[in-house]
Amino acid sequence: MIKPHGAEQLMPLYVADQQQREALQAQAESMPSKIVSSATATNAVMLAGGYFTPLTGYMNVADAMSVADTLHTADGVFWPVPVMNLLSDASGVVVGEQLALRDPNVSGNPVLAVMTVNAIETLSDDQINHIAEQVFGTLDGQHPGVAAFTGQGNIAVSGPIQVLNFSYFATDFPDTFRTAVQIRDEMATLGWEKVVAFQTRNPMHRAHEELCRMAMQDLQADGCLVHMLLGKLKAGDIPADVRDNAIRTMVDVYFEPNTVLVTGYGFDMLYAGPREAVLHAVFRQNCGCTHLIVGRDHAGVGDYYGAFDAQTIFDEKVPADALLIDIYRADHTAYSKKLDKVVMMKDAPDHSKDDFVLLSGTAVREMLGNGIAPPPEFSRPEVAKILMDYYRSL
């Protein structure tokens, strides 16, 4: 395994000592408090789990603007997207004092974290739009990431945090949610040193499955970390519990034991394409992985990004010494009728389009919604059944 990003050891901000945590929880009930955005809450969960090492809390405006423009904080820490606590109302918040952050995603809005307020700054509309355009490559309000970011408010409350729990992720996904600390521990127990990570917000079809297998074989990796996003998605995406069931079923049936870890992390999807691909690399380095698979339209949405922009950003904007993790670059993958297996299309120059089984996501969703199983070349029958049952229940 490789070292965490920017530190010798992970820096999880969860208050692990039970007595300290209970004492802080009690104190938090009498502090000024704010119900934060889902983005702020999931940032806290990621800070708690060590995924955001070496950050210690929420960025101020100077850091956020610097990250947007240069992929570095003002003091030079490489980071691809701003990590902010944006509020629409900061009444009662005082610089130098503590603020309890209440969870918008859990009934009753319990305290999720306590922050020490270092600064309260108001961003102009131009600053908000500048950050959004740099991170998402667009200001289109139809882009789900842009809409979520610009809808939080324009008051940045920055400072270090201490996190008291992992929101709904640990309770709703007890078998899947893992911190970066836990993932490193599990991989160490398995004796894994070279590990390839696969990021997903969708169920895994045959191409995804074979891509993980190809990467493990090409890299001679000890194992694969299948790491699924468990937070909020755009309308129409498959819910996390359905994805979890489908992925676990595929791994259990079609991979050798102890070669794949199925895990999840508590974060809302940004749909930031190239920038989010770099963030995914940081997460996986902090988990101890040596490689991250980056394929076509990684972390994209709609037609906002080029098919392989999430690969070229590592050549064009990520300094060679910024990260220790390497990128495994995947091309278009499809089932070859000629070879009777999934291949990268670039590796089959003698094929015509008719030699591949090609299905769009829209076509597959329509088939599933009509109770029709996609062809076995596209989806394992066990996975297709789980997805058909989900679509029938809608």
Active site residues: 201-202
Beta-strand pair 86-87/155-163: antiparallel
Q: Which H or E run contains 64?
A: helix 61-70
- C-alpha–C-alpha distance, residues 42 and 36, integer Å: 10
- C-alpha–C-alpha distance, residues 119 and 117, integer Å: 6
Q: With CA atoms as reference, report the closest residue to 223 among 189, 179, 190.
A: 190
CB within 8 A of 257, min separation 6: which ones? Answer: none
CB within 8 A of 362, min separation 6: which ones? Answer: none
Beta-strand pair 33-35/356-357: unpaired
- C-alpha–C-alpha distance, residues 131 and 319, integer Å: 21
Three-state SS at 147: helix
Yes or no: say if 34 and 102 are a contact pair by the CB < 8 Å rule.
yes
- Amino acid identity at 37: S
At 132, phi and psi to the nearest 5? -60, -45
At 113, phi and psi to the nearest 5? -155, 160
Yes or no: say if 180 and 12 are a contact pair by the CB < 8 Å rule.
yes
Yes or no: say if 155 and 90 are a contact pair by the CB < 8 Å rule.
yes
